[in-house]
Amino acid sequence: MTVRIAQISDAHLGASRDPFGPNFDLAAQHIRDARPDLLLATGDLSLDGADSDADLAAAWARHAAIGVEWRAVPGNHDVGDEAALGGRQPWNGARAARWATVAGPRCWLHDLPGWRLIGLDTQSLISDAGQWDFLAGALADAGGRAIALVQHKPLTEQGLSDDAVNYWPVLPAPRGRLLALLGGMRPALVLSGHLHMWRDRVGDGIRQVWAPSTGFVVGDRWQEALGEKRIGWVEHHFHADGTHDCVLRDIPLARPHDLGDMPEVYGPLEPVTQA
Ligand SMILES: [Fe+2]
Ligand SMILES: [Fe+2]
């Protein structure tokens, strides 16, 4: 048996300002036409759900209106980010409560034949100790199923030895804790978003699939190109024998917005510095 899953990410939908809504509407219809068994949204559903009830509620409703059974994990624009990163919207109890009211749990498990999907909030792995109890339990009774982590941030950008502390991947300390919890095992798969790039790569025994955004890319002037800067979604096939394959789906007629050219959305971006 094979389960077909559509992964959608980083829609950045707003209630009053909604520059990426038209691309999302095209993606939504494309996914309806594809008739997947399940839809996964890997964070940044909203333009500014970290501070706006209306944005988070609108973004949630529009994902639900696709009309497919679905699960979602929050992104930094939905619940804020680790306080250790020093950003203007730190993850905290109030932001987590907003997500809980609108969307429900921030971490969850979902079993498929041969697989266990584990949804995590990668913006609070330092701040929310309770998430580790959930994760330990989800791993302990997986019953031999292959493990797929479903999260907003990638586990790494390059490899498990990454020691950079920055906005993009799971931070080194919680990454180490996660690997320690797994013992000598590795997750079979990590599905993420956040970078607004498409990449499907195996490294250090872990296959990581980065879903692109449905809404926009960040041009090379402002973000290093570690994957393909495309607009789209990912179609996954989860097989009962614990294997998996996936393919990028482009969104016909979607506009290739570049956030660097849209300072009115989140402010001007800092150019990347060349080494
Ligand atoms: Fe995003
Ligand atoms: Fe993000």
- Whether residue 273 is contained in a domain is answered as no
- Whether residue 161 is contained in a domain is answered as yes
- Of 265, 177, 249, 171, residue with least CA distance to 214: 249
CA of 56 to the centre of ligand 1 (A): 14
* pLDDT for position 232: 98
* pLDDT for position 185: 87
Q: Which ligand is nearest to the CA of 153?
A: 2
Residues 6+ apart with CB under 8 A from 231: 23, 212, 213, 214, 215, 216, 217, 250, 251, 254, 255, 256, 257
CA of 248 to the centre of ligand 1 (A): 18
CA of 225 to the centre of ligand 2 (A): 16
* pLDDT for position 56: 98
* pLDDT for position 274: 57
Phi-psi region of 183 (alpha: psi -120 to 50; beta: other; left: phi over 0): left
Counting the structural domains of the chain, the total is 1
From residue 259, alpha-carbon distances to 83, 101, 232 in Å are 24, 29, 16
Please give the angle made by the CA atoms of 137, 159 and 149, to the nearest 5 degrees: 30
Domain interval for residue 23? 2-266
Structure token pair of residue 256: 């290739």
In contact, 44 and 239? CB cutoff 8 Å: no
- Whether residue 182 is contained in a domain is answered as yes
CA of 67 to the centre of ligand 2 (A): 24
pLDDT along the chain (275 residues), means of 10: 97 98 98 98 98 98 98 98 96 98 98 98 96 96 96 95 91 95 92 98 96 98 97 98 98 97 97 73
- Whether residue 24 is contained in a domain is answered as yes
Say which amino acid occupies 73.
Answer: V
CA of 49 to the centre of ligand 1 (A): 12
- Whether residue 272 is contained in a domain is answered as no
Q: Which ligand is nearest to the CA of 216?
A: 1
Which residue, chain included where needed, has tokens 């009962």? 240
For 124-130, the CB contacts below 8 A with 24+ separation are 124/79, 124/82, 124/91, 124/96, 125/82, 125/170, 125/171, 125/174, 125/177, 125/178, 126/82, 126/83, 126/84, 126/171, 126/173, 126/174, 127/82, 127/83, 127/91, 127/92, 128/91, 128/96
Q: Which ligand is nearest to the CA of 152?
A: 2
CATH number at residue 48: 3.60.21.10
> Collapsing DSSP states into helix, strand and coil, what is residue 4?
strand
CA of 195 to the centre of ligand 2 (A): 7
Distance CA 78, CA 45 (A): 7
- Whether residue 271 is contained in a domain is answered as no
- Whether residue 197 is contained in a domain is answered as yes
- Whether residue 217 is contained in a domain is answered as yes
- 122: DSSP letter: T
Distance CA 256, CA 231 (A): 7
Residue 118 forms beta bridges with which residues?
109, 149
